[in-house]
Homo-oligomer: A and B are copies of this chain.
Amino acid sequence: MLLHLSTWPEVETYLQRSQGMIIPIGSTEQHGPTGLIGTDAICAEAIAQGVGASTQAMVGPTIPVGMALHHTAFPGSISLRPSTLMLVVRDTLTCLVRTGFTRFFFINGHGGNIATLRAAFSETYAHVSDLNLPQGELVRCQLGNWFTGSAVMKLARDLYGDQEGSHATPSEVAVTQYLYPEARKQAALSPDVSPDHSIYGAMDFRRRYPDGRMGSNPNLATPEHGQQFYEASVKELSQSYLKFMNEL
């Protein structure tokens, strides 16, 4: 079920059988010369909807802009401050808790979101506790990164070896090619595999990674690979979601 295509009485009915919600979170940031700026949101949303379909779970609105400050020296990249993203998560979950949701499974498309999301979960537990809501103690959040599941990572190794890299990876580019074949971009990449180093501030990032890639060769991506990644991730995260919901 998709929250945005549901009515409130349908949500009320859903809450009688489940208090779980899947929340996709992406980012709006450069993904190298050929990767789409919306890559992380596109992947997270599609996989979340796949997981929702396979588990009968409600899927909430995608958070399209995440924590990508280090990418913001490239045109078109947008980031929330960590402190802002924490408030977005807190406000979102607090509303949902008030009407009965208690377990939130974030399907995440961007490594840069992880730390801030974990901090936001802690902040939210404390905030909900402050409000003295009856169901406050039941609130639980879990993070599922589609790109770190074991099957997904094995597939990336098998297909791309050490050219997977860590940003603008062929795996994520492949998923967007599968989902938006009409938006497949072409460009010569030089060097084929860009070097991979540390991440600090935005200006430093652009200096280190002039075309935006980190150790990746996205030209290896194909839409067929994308379908494989999509299916592997939906399967893995569906299992994770069900395990999370069944946890005592």
Binding site for B on A (CB under 8 A): 2-12, 15, 28, 30-38, 41-42, 60-65, 67, 69-70, 72-84, 86-88, 91-92, 95-96, 98-100, 112, 114-123, 125-126, 128-132, 136-142, 180, 183, 185, 187, 198, 200-204, 212, 247
Chain B residues with Cβ under 8 A from A32's Cβ? 7-8
Checking B61, B91, B121 against A84 with a beta-carbon cut-off of 8 angstroms, the contacting residue is B91
A6 to B28, CA, bound (A): 10
Closest to A31 in B: B7
Measured CA separation A198–B15 after assembly (Å): 24
Q: How far is the CB of A189 from chain B (nearest CB, A)?
A: 12
Tell me the bound Cα distance from A67 to B131 in angstroms: 20
Q: Are B28's CB and A61's CB within 8 A?
A: yes
Q: Determine whether the beta carbon of B99 is less than 8 Å from that of A72.
A: yes
Additional 8 contacts, C-beta under 8 A, given A38-B61, A70-B122, A81-B122 = A3-B28, A8-B30, A8-B31, A12-B75, A129-B203, A130-B130, A130-B131, A132-B132
B75:A4 contact, CB within 8 angstroms: no
A198 / chain B contacts, CB cutoff of 8 Å: 140, 142, 247
Top 3 closest A-B pairs, CB basis? A4-B38, A11-B76, A115-B118
